[in-house]
Amino acid sequence: MRCPILLLAGIVSALSGANAARAQIAESTVLVVNGRSPESRTVARAWARLRAIPTEHTIVLDDVPATEGVIPVGAFRETILRPVRTWLDARGMTEQTTLVTFSVGFPYGVDFDADARAQGLELAPPISPIASLTSMTYLGTQVDAGDARSYLALDANRAFAGPGRARELGVTRPIEPDTDAFLPAAMLGYVGPNGSTVAQVLSYLERSSDVDGKWPDGTIYLLANDDVRANTREPLFADAVDRLRAGGFAARVLEKGTDGEDGILPRGHEDVLGLVAGIAGFDWTESGSTLVAGALAEHLTSFGAHFGTSGQTKCVRFLEAGAAGTCGTVAEPYAVQPKFPVPHLHLHYLRGASMVEAMYLSIQGPYQTLILGDPLCRPFASFAAVELDAPRADVAWSGTVAIEVGATRAELGEEPESVEAWVDGRRIGRAALGQPIDWDTSECSDGHHELRVVAVGPPPLRLRSRSDRITIQVRNHRLEVRTQPRKTAVHSGEAISVRVTSKGCRTVEIREGVRVIQATAGRTSFTAEVPTLDLGTGTFVLHAIGRSKDGLEVRGAPFEVEVRAPSGG
């Protein structure tokens, strides 16, 4: 890795019409799946289940080109970026969405040479011609316009909370997505050469899903050695440690040659909650240290997320060792500090930010940085207890109802300021704490729906606390659809056999989320045979949608079927 060179010129335009700050929750997350990849479906399905992502929030892209990891920027725009943005716009979800999460099965890099040439930019150090999937999504407005001068700028990230480039440390707050600015994005993992296996991805996602609000004990370690990869960020170490300690958190700088440390990895420490390292290669198992569940760990090096080469240790090794989040560059970054997280990443995280919030608050010029892991992991949040006070959930709702939400702040938390109601992953209303949310139930179909009530905390973080899943029934018309799977577990390649009965319905569809996987017309009682060969494995959540001759819809109760690996496979 070469030493820092002159920084790029260019500044993105100021935000216009910024939305109210909205911390990430499952209901404000969309999950993107490569429809051609069973592995992508399997991992997405598992994470959606772990994180209770609404089934309607899965975007399946069927035209992602075959790749070894890097695609041209034109292909990225046409097969990934624009389809995602169009999907959100078509469903009226752009404003409520605060996070795009890619499953496995996607390229890690985007070759932006065509955009650079169109603007007359010379691709010379410190510009490397490959950007990351997550950052090109985050800076999607500039990328969609082909404005490489803006998205390559080392101060492109207006959410950056410093410190850096004569900038003081800013407050810990949620990223504020805006269609004219940026939309946070992360990748659950990378499966392929030099990456992880599906089993490894599923393992670390399950581990990280269980630590929200648990406040795990541990220490933030910052590694110092004589490598440029370490000393690029070392000038920020003292301030980060002072601020962490002032906040009541444990933090240490481990220097090469002191107390048996090598400055590469912590040696024999069982409490690694955070890691700021700088080295090309490492072996975590040999270090004798343990990553605490929910930890963030990353290392500054050239090819930490360049999976097209076996040179240098990949950042996903931290995930496989138990971390919740990591990041790395997808091409030579030339040891330019703004391309990597400042050590204050861990201060934002320990103040209650989610993994993805902490990352984007800490990287000033993110175009080359790939963010991987569980973006919703939030171990240091103090969640309020939230519940539905009225109406009763065991009685069918009709007409306009007044939804009353009860919220009790956590012992270490703050008093919520407002409440929200979400049905099937769509926000249907908000009100001040103690005030009802009026909802006209005729705005949705009859039948079974999933309700979540949410309490929103005060600024700057505006932490959102969710209730448990609440099943409600809406009944404004005389429509009904019922489903019963013949088996609750099948092998991939076998059909899922589902008995369907309906009342007042001309057509019935079996769906996974919004994706129709079986449709039948003109029958009130039948058995649907749902194919599974191309759907991946895991636990499927399916539901039926019945539709009357007048176009009215009724939603059946969701049901689960486990699809296992092929028999004998």
Report the candidate in 505, 481, 485, 508 with the shortest Cα–Cα distance to residue 495.
485
**Mean pLDDT calculated for residue range 306-327:** 96
Sheet (strand 400-408) strand order: 385-390, 400-408, 437-440
Q: Kindly tell me if the per-residue pLDDT of 226 is higher than 80.
A: yes
Q: Kindly tell me if the per-residue pLDDT of 279 is higher than 50.
A: yes
Q: Kindly tell me if the per-residue pLDDT of 7 is higher than 50.
A: no
Measured distance CA(326)–CA(23) in Å, rounded: 20
DSSP-derived secondary structure letter, 467: P
What does the block give as tokens for 399? 């007409």
Mode of pairing for the β-strands spanning 553-555 and 538-547: antiparallel
Measured distance CA(55)–CA(425) in Å, rounded: 8
What pLDDT does 535 receive?
A: 78
Measured distance CA(498)–CA(470) in Å, rounded: 25
Contact 487, 561 (CB under 8 A): yes
Rounded to the nearest integer, the mean pLDDT of the chain is 92
Q: CB-based contacts of 380: which residues, under 8 Å, 6+ apart?
A: 213, 215, 349, 350, 351, 352
3 state SS of 167: coil
Measured distance CA(93)–CA(89) in Å, rounded: 6
**Mean pLDDT calculated for residue range 437-451:** 97
Measured distance CA(272)–CA(43) in Å, rounded: 27
Which segments of the chain belong to CATH 2.60.40.10?
Answer: 385-474, 480-564
What is the C-alpha R_g of the chain?
Answer: 24
Q: Kindly tell me if the per-residue pLDDT of 516 is higher than 60.
A: yes
Q: Kindly tell me if the per-residue pLDDT of 114 is higher than 60.
A: yes
Give the number of residues written for the chain. Answer: 569
Dihedral angle sign, alpha carbons of residues 525, 534, 46, 568:
positive
Q: CB-based contacts of 173: which residues, under 8 Å, 6+ apart?
A: 21, 161, 361, 459, 460, 461, 462
What pLDDT does 177 receive?
A: 66
Superfamily of domain 480-564: Immunoglobulins (2.60.40.10)
CA dihedral 198, 204, 209, 212 (to 10 degrees): -160
Mean pLDDT is lowest, of 12-16, 77-81, 354-358, for 12-16
Report the candidate in 372, 305, 360 with the shortest Cα–Cα distance to residue 333.
305
Cis peptide before 177 (omega within 30 of 0): no
Q: CB-based contacts of 120: which residues, under 8 Å, 6+ apart?
A: none
What percentage of the chain reaches a pLDDT higher than 70? 95
What pLDDT does 569 receive?
A: 55
Contact 421, 437 (CB under 8 A): yes
Q: Kindly tell me if the per-residue pLDDT of 180 is higher than 60.
A: no
What pLDDT does 181 receive?
A: 64
Measured distance CA(323)–CA(374) in Å, rounded: 9
Q: Kindly tell me if the per-residue pLDDT of 178 is higher than 70.
A: no
Q: Kindly tell me if the per-residue pLDDT of 531 is higher than 60.
A: yes
Q: Kindly tell me if the per-residue pLDDT of 173 is higher than 60.
A: yes
Entry pTM: 0.93
Fold of the 385-474 domain: Immunoglobulin-like (2.60.40)
- pLDDT band per the 50, 70, 90 thresholds, residue 4: very low
What pLDDT does 532 receive?
A: 86
